Amino acid sequence: EIVLTQSPGTLSLSPGERATLSCRASQSVPSRYLAWYQQKPGQAPRLLIYGSSSRATGIPDRFSGSGSGTDFTLTISRLEPEDFAVYYCQQYGSSPWTFGQGTKVEIK
């Protein structure tokens, strides 16, 4: 099983600041099988990024993904008030698909 470790656990930032979230895999993940999701309280997760760097439909361009192998990054260039949420990475290339434990982006 591929274990995904996200860091930091919590990121305290102000609106307008840049957020950089990390996802490290216990073994190599093909880039085309790495996704990022956003989840707000009481809601289902929402797909942001797939294939490590492709934005899902309707996702603003302030969200970007990068990385390869075992190290992947989600960047939010300028935080908007609606971006404060929990973010999860997921690999779906090797069964069982697995999620990271999440990074909470909170208002400082």
- Binder of another protein out of 13, 56, 59, 77 (CB under 8 A): 56
What's the closest the beta carbon of residue 14 comes to another protein, in angstroms?
25
Candidate segments 15-23, 34-42, 65-73, 74-82, binder of another protein by CB under 8 A: 34-42
Phi first, then psi: give them for residue 62, nearest 5 degrees.
-75, -15
Question: Is residue 13 a contact residue for another protein (CB under 8 A)?
Answer: no
What's the closest the beta carbon of residue 4 comes to another protein, in angstroms?
10
**57 CB neighbour count, 10 Å cutoff:** 5
Q: Total residues at the site for another protein (CB under 8 A)?
A: 21
Among left, alpha and beta (phi > 0; psi -120 to 50; other), residue 51 is left
Cis preceding-peptide flag for 8 (omega within 30 of 0): yes
Report the interface residues with another protein, using CB under 8 A.
35, 37, 39, 44-47, 50, 56-57, 88, 90, 92, 95-102
